[in-house]
Structure 1
């Protein structure tokens, strides 16, 4: 079997998470986060559309982790992303982290917004 080293580009992978925190690229971040090509930042949740606007043209898909359980996202949040041409995939935060890491390792244009578990 041939093994290839995974090389991440500008964005950093999710390395771990726990109650109220995420570890991204060796740094621990408390609360909800937004991570992608422009780095990792705190995220104010579904009403924090300003940070998402900066992703237009940089990503094709935004994964949203809704905490420990999958939940619907508000319609205005979904509409804003659609207007910007950004695809949206909603899942639990653990699933979103795993999916994001896999697609990031493939060099895909993705970002991740996660609510804490």
Structure 2
């Protein structure tokens, strides 16, 4: 996966809103999926669960020493992550929860507000 030169926003912020294929955060808007990690908010070239590959997890793995829990927003419906991808996340010390994107964004926001070390990988709805 090609690594962007820098995130949209080089700090972690709450997700202010989301809708059909977009997210709002810190006065900005993005069309498509996003990563909200301690290193910042950036685009994530994933449009469905089948697009999640080890390559799609590279930015998450690189930032893993900075957080403990990753919320994966699966789109509109609950979904599962194949065991080899779960192992990639476990190997870098991350715990993770998969849930529909709206629930993942909301839970991420709550824990971020509590200053918990969290991140989110959110597939746009």
TMscore range, shorter length: 0.7 to 0.9
Which of the pair has more CA radius of gyration?
A: 1
Q: Give unmatched runs, 5+ long, in structure 2.
A: 1-10, 47-51
Q: How many residues align?
A: 108
Please state how far the C-alpha of 1:73 moved relative to its aligned partner: 1.5
With normalisation by structure 1, the TM-score equals 0.87
Q: What is the alpha-carbon distance in structure 1 between the residues aligned to residue 82 and residue 25 of structure 2? A: 26
Q: Is the contact made by 2:37 and 2:60 (CA closer than 8 Å) also made in structure 1?
A: no
Instruction: Give the superposition deviation at 1:55.
Output: 1.6
* Runs of 4 or more above 6 Å deviation: none
Q: Which runs of 5+ in 1 are unaligned?
A: 1-9
Alignment root-mean-square deviation, CA: 1.0
Aligned-pair CA distance for 1:74? 2.4
SS at match of 2:107: helix
* Superposition TM-score, scaled by structure 2 size: 0.82
Alpha-carbon shift at residue 49 of structure 1 (Å): 1.8
Cα distance in 1, alignment partners of residues 30 and 85 from structure 2: 23
